[in-house]
Structures are given as C-alpha cells and as structure tokens.
Structure 1
Amino acid sequence: MTNARRWWLATSALGLFAQPVLAQQAAPADATTETGNDIVVTGYRTSLAAARDSKRQAAIIKDSIAASDIAAFPDLNLAEALQRLPGVAINREAGEGRRISLRGLGPDFTRVQLDGMEVLGNVDSPQDSRGQTTRDRAFDFNLFAAELFNHVDVEKSYQAQQSEGGLAGTVALFTARPFDYRGSKIALSAQGGTNTLTRDFQPRITGLVSKTWGNFGLLVSGAYSRRKTREEGVDTYRWRHNTASGSDISSLTAAERAKINSGDLLFARGNRLSVWDSTQERVGITAAMQWNPTDAIHLTLDGLYGQFQGDRFETHLASRGGGSSTWLGGGETFAGVTYPNSKVNALQWNDRNEVVYLDVTGGKASTETRIQNTRNVFKQVVLSGGCRACRGPDRLLDWRRRAVAL
C-alpha cells in the first residue's frame, strides 16, 4: 500500500470518529435551562458516628442513643426513646410508655444505672394491685423526661467490670454535663398539643444552660410536661364457672338448662362500661459541675430531681348478680328493699363454653367510682472522680459516692 492510500484511510477513520463528537457539541438555539427550588438536607452526622463508634469499640453487645437522636422524635418519656433500639419492647399506661422488656425478658430482669450508680424508681399505677409497685425490681421510665439525658447505653451482654444483676441486660442513663458543650450553650424548646376527648392544652417545655471556663464548667437543665388523656371502653373480667344460683331459667330449653346446671359454662363476673380520665404531670431538673484540675484528674458532681404526679378518675357501670358475680343470682335484700330473682330469657356460648350473650329480666347493675392521686419524687446526687497516670489509657482511680432519696 502506498503512502498516499494510507493517509487517505487514516483521514477517513478520523472523520468517522470525529462526526459524533461534532454532533454532540451542536445544541438547539432555543434550549433553556430550568431551575427548581433548593433542596436542603439536614442530618446528624456527629451523633450517628458517635453511636456507631461506641457500638464498634465496645467489647460487648451494646446500643446507644445520643441526645440529638432523643430530640429528633416526639417521644413522651424515656421509655419511648428506648423502644427505638433493637431488642427493646415497652408496655404502656394511659398512652405512654412505662416499663421496658429487654431481650424478651420482663422488666424485673433489667438493671438500670443513672450516672454510674444503680437505681430503682417506681411510680404508683392503677395497673398495679394494692401497692404492688413497692415489691418489684422493675424501673418505671416514665418518671423522667427523655430530654434530661445526654445519651443512653443499652448493654445486652456482660463484662468483668460490671456488678452482678441484670439478667436481661443493663440500661445506663447519663445526664448532660458542661464539658459536653464547650463554651456557652443555651437551648429552649416549647411544644403544645391537645386531643379530641379532653380538649385541654398540654404544654411541654425543656431548657438547658451550660457554661465552661477553661477546666471548670456548670450546667443546669429542666423539663416540664402535663398531659391529660381519656380512655373509654368495655371491660369484661374474671371469667369463672357458675350455675343458675336461684335465677329463673324456666324459659330456656332443656339442653340450655342442663348446660347451666352442669357448671360447664363460664360467666364473666362483671361487664363494665368504663371511662378513665388521667392527668400526668412531670417535672425534671438536672445540675452538673465538672472540674479538671489537671489533664489526668477529673471531678464531677451530678444532681437529678424528678417528680411525677398522676391523677386518675375512673367511672364504671357494671352488671352485678348475686354474690357480686354475674347476672345470674337469686333475690337479694339491700337497704330494706328485697329485689326479685333474675330471669334468664336466652343465652349463647362459644366453643370454649364462654357465655357471650345473655338476655336477662330483673338483672342488677352497679356503679363504681375510683379516684387515685399519686406523687412520686426521685432525688439523687453523685460525686465521681478519676485519675489517669501519665495520661495513659489505664484508669488507676475511679470512684463514685451517691446520696439518694426516693
């Protein structure tokens, strides 16, 4: 092939590759660029990284919640903030979380620490029968507002430095400290709400003031909330075997009469139409002082005050029979008035022999009202300190002293 032919082929190949490039550079003369609204993405990178690093560096299975994570959700109390962690379930009262179950075990098997000290906090509740709260080990997390804590660690396994107890695991609560916020820090949050049943304004206010001066710092925070709820429903309780007990069952079929007299049927002791009105008021105050005289020595004084006041008003309309049992029962005399025997006109039961329908003439009903006012106060002061030799990683001295009043 001659040099002239090689040059012609090379030129043709270059033209084939160059044409698409020239075509891409050509643009319509009337093309316009449309601009939209700015999209702003806000994240909590530092808190997420801190929680991730805490879990990664721990020698045990541990999950953590940072303060920004707690504030990012409208959790009513500390129990609801903890339920966002894997392996944590809560039970509720009056629409709020109260106690937690960790790793499938009940609330009695979870140990709780507050600023490094093991604590126990209970609040009285209508769910507890006759003061049962004074006899268990479960911690009621609705005692505190979630905003009072800087971070929470949930430890699901064990290490040698831990004290005994806590079969399910350990929940470690840490209040805010001044060295968590270098310099001056002031924060205030106010929220409000209502609902269709109570129609009352329900405030929720939190605040924090922190100041550091070199190696010394002070912090004060507080939280206040008031919430009112109403529950309405039907309550059927205490099923038990019962017979006619003097009631007139002559209108029933022979098979139905035999079924009742055999004692195989289960009757509810009471069927109630109920209304529960609850008012919950929560106050929390924390204070902390930190002093690091040297890089190797630190002293911390933490104080926490928590108050939970609950008022509950219950009204019930219930069916009652002889001996405070069911609609079944004979005649009774009360306040000089003799009431006739009830007459059972019809009844139905399910495959478990539970009576689900009862038509009674001359049945008796009763009303019940219960008022409960409770006030629970938690106080704790912790003085802690530590010392590191030659700025090394090993802590030679680590101690805590606590004064607590419940």
Structure 2
Amino acid sequence: MRCPLARMTAETPLRYRFVGARGVRAWIAAPSVAQTQTPPRPLDPTEVETIAIIGRPSSQIAETLRRKRAAEVISDGVSAEQIGDLPAANLAEALQRVPGVAIEREVGEGQFVSVRGLGPLFQSVTLNGAPVAFNENIRNSTQSGRQFRFRALSVDLLAGARLAKSSTADMIDGGIGSNIDIETAGGLDGGPFLALRAGGEIEERTESLRPDLSIAGRIVSPDGSKGLVAGISQEDRRVRYDRFQIMRYGAFAVSGAPLTAPNDVRTTVEREDRRRRSAFLGADWRVSPNLKLDFDGLVSSFDNTIREDRLCPPSAPLRQIEGSV
C-alpha cells in the first residue's frame, strides 16, 4: 500500500522524511540544474512611443534657497509659490510653516506671530526694509504694544517674506525674536503676467455667499528697462457663533440640604462680518546697468464688525426649595 504522503507530494517539489514514530519533516527541494538553465522564451519586439519628461525648478524657490545659503545670519523665508502650494488666509498662516514659528489665532484666523518661544512683542516687522505700523491696543492684555496684526495683509499681492532669527546692523532695532521683512513684487522681477482669482464661501449658519476676489498683473517695456506691477484684492466672510455660558453659581437649599447650582446662565448669538481689502502698486526703472529706481506702495484695511445678542436672566437669590433629590 502506497504511503498517503507519497501520493500528496507526487509531482511536487515537496520532500519528506519520517522523524521518530510520530514526526514528519518536510521541505522544498532545490530545482535541478537543467531547470535553472532553461533559456527564457524570447519576446516579440514592440515599438513604443517616445515620452520626453522635462523638469524645470522654480526660480522663486531657487532664489529663496540661494539667499538662505548666502545669508550671514540664521534666516528662512517663504516665496509666493510656496505660499500658493497650501491654502493660507493671510501671511501669518503662511509663516507658520517656517521652522520655529508659531502663530496665535483669533476667531479662527491667524493673527500674531511668535518665533522660538518669544511672543509677538519681540518681533520686528518691516515692509521692503521699512518699518510698518504697529498695533497700539492689544486685545488680550489691554496694554500698548507693537504686535503686528498679520491678518490685515492678504497673501495674494505679496512676493513672500524673509525671517531673520538673528539681527544684523542693517535691520530695524528691537527684533529680539526675529525680524520679519515682508516683500512685495517688483516691476522687473519677472515677465508680464495677468492673474485672476475668484471664489466664494458659504457659512452654514449664516447661509450667505461672501465673495473672494483678486486680480494682479505686470507689464514690461519692450527694452526691459521699465516695469509696472499692480493688484487689488478683497475677501469677505460672515460667521456666526452660538455660545452657552455659565457665569456664576449660587447656593440653594433643597429639603434643608445645601446645593450649589448655576444661577447666571447666558446664551449668546455672535455675528461677525470681516472684510479685507488690499491694493498694491510697484514700478521699476532701470536707468543704467548700475542704477535702478523703484517705487512700492501697499495699502490694506481690515474691517471687523461684531454684533452680540445676549440673553441674561437675573440672578436667582438664595431660597428654600421643598422637594426631594
């Protein structure tokens, strides 16, 4: 009678051997030399279409890396192309991707910038090397300060920002944390272009469509000596917050037992309308190979209207309540 294992392993590379009275050892046999030297079946020749892949590195990213390598201080930055890779409502949200930068948000949008653990008071902010206006009424501390409200600037009309984490003699004094230089586009920084962006946003609670528009362009003279760049942007947003707050607790007595319960409950419906408008104009004139005149102007406004509808019932006095808990 043939062994069942022999029938199971027939015509397979499996081999077996009995080990003791109840054990079996199985393994796969190596292929023979004749099997390994069998030539493969030749394939029929096939002609395929030539595919050419051409890559071109971004000039803005390359320039950012070049300036970072050539800088004599610890610096970093973001370019307009890097800002466009990921959505950012304003410049603060674009800067938070730089190592060592953290931002503070207000009602869901980036507002202040902190660098290496130092708060907004320790950052010096400039626009093309010139100091920009600082905020003089801080909402969270009710003290005068110089925190710059980055949400007032739209990222559509900016060329980028350079962040220097150690100061040099040519920088504005006071940036213990960093010096943030906001850069605008120049009339001779590239070729002619025209860019238009249109969008909208619908808040579920307000059920209203708010527009988001921007247009920018550049023209350059035929000889390349003069250039003009300009753009405008407007962003609107309407939001609504529903809040339920317990402001105070009071002492009550239930069947003679003391009990602490809320006695000042407030329901608030807050509506907020935001509108950010920005306009930019830049002009460059290359008078000679060694002389270039340029003009840069940026105007931005951020309007924020808040309305609160609040229901505040009168506080309940201490009273005796008959009943059981």
TM over 0.5: yes
Deviation of the 1:243 alpha carbon: 7.8
In structure 2, runs of 5+ residues without a counterpart are 1-32
Determine the C-alpha separation between the residues in 2 that align with 1:269 and 1:310.
33
Distance 1:153 1:252, change over 3 A: farther
Task: Verify: 1:274 aligned to 2:268, yes or no.
Answer: yes
SS at match of 2:240: strand
> 2:104 maps to which residue?
91
Alignment of 1:130-145 (within 5 A): 132=142, 135-145=144-154
Determine the C-alpha separation between the residues in 2 that align with 1:160 and 1:344.
73
Bigger Cα displacement from structure 2, 98-107 vs 116-125 = 116-125
Determine the C-alpha separation between the residues in 1 that align with 2:241 and 2:54.
40
Determine the C-alpha separation between the residues in 1 that align with 2:186 and 2:193.
11
Task: Map Cα deviations across residues 232-266 of structure 1 (whole Å, 9 max, x no partner).
Answer: 233345x7xx885xxx636353xx48xx8xxxxxx
**Conserved? CA contact 1:209–1:220, under 8 Å:** yes
Determine the C-alpha separation between the residues in 1 that align with 2:322 and 2:292.
80
Determine the C-alpha separation between the residues in 2 that align with 1:269 and 1:99.
37
Deviation of the 1:93 alpha carbon: 2.1
Task: Map Cα deviations across residues 261-311 of structure 1 (whole Å, 9 max, x no partner).
Answer: xxxxxx989543222211101110000111121111222111111121111
SS at match of 2:173: coil
Task: Verify: 1:181 aligned to 2:190, yes or no.
Answer: yes
**Conserved? CA contact 2:136–2:145, under 8 Å:** no
Bigger Cα displacement from structure 2, 218-227 vs 159-168 = 159-168
Partner amino acid, structure 1, of 2:301? Q
Task: Verify: 1:225 aligned to 2:235, yes or no.
Answer: yes
TM-score (normalised: structure 2): 0.76
SS at match of 1:138: coil
Identity of aligned residues (%): 27
Deviation of the 1:316 alpha carbon: 2.3
Deviation of the 1:46 alpha carbon: 3.0
SS at match of 1:23: coil
> 1:200 maps to which residue?
208
Distance 1:121 1:345, change over 3 A: farther
Distance 1:249 1:269, change over 3 A: closer
Counterpart pick for 2:282 among 288, 298, 307? 288
Determine the C-alpha separation between the residues in 1 that align with 2:265 and 2:57.
51
Distance 1:147 1:243, change over 3 A: closer
> 1:164 maps to which residue?
173
Task: Map Cα deviations across residues 36-71 of structure 1 (whole Å, 9 max, x no partner).
Answer: xx9x99986333322222222211111111111122
TM-score (normalised: structure 1): 0.62
Query: Which has a greater percent of helix?
Result: 1
Determine the C-alpha separation between the residues in 1 that align with 2:130 and 2:322.
64
Deviation of the 1:190 alpha carbon: 1.1
